[in-house]
């Protein structure tokens, strides 16, 4: 385990003390729990497929079929046009 020193605003420290007392744990243990939970929740995907599976399309593309969209772009481009 590593020791880390951080600076907290008074209000945040007070909230941590209240919650740690309510849970019967130290402020340090509470901070470790909260950080660990946040890191697990926001974990970076381990591969590209997982990353893209987690993505959601922009609202403007929600009803768009990918292949049709690419075909439309290619048809407008002299360089990318299928021949």
CB 45 within 8 A of CB 54: yes
pLDDT above 60: residue 64: yes
55 pLDDT exceeds 90?
no
Report the distance separating Cα 22 and Cα 45, nearest Å.
34
Give the confidence band of 45 by pLDDT, cuts at 50, 70, 90: low
Report d(CA 28, CA 8) in Å as an integer.
Answer: 12
Across the chain, mean pLDDT equals: 84
d(CA 46, CA 16): 32
pTM exceeds 0.75 for this model: no
What 8-state DSSP symbol labels residue 5?
-
Task: Work out the widest C-alpha separation in the chain, in whole angstroms.
Answer: 71
């Amino acid at each position: 385990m590593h020791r880390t020193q951080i600076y907290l605003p008074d209000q945040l420290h007070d909230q941590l003390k209240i919650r740690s007392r309510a849970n019967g744990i130290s402020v340090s243990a509470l901070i470790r729990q909260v950080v660990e939970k946040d890191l697990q929740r926001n974990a970076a995907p381990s591969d590209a497929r997982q990353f893209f599976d987690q993505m959601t399309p922009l609202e403007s593309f929600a009803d768009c079929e990918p292949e049709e969209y690419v075909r439309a772009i290619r048809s407008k481009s002299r360089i990318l046009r299928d021949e």
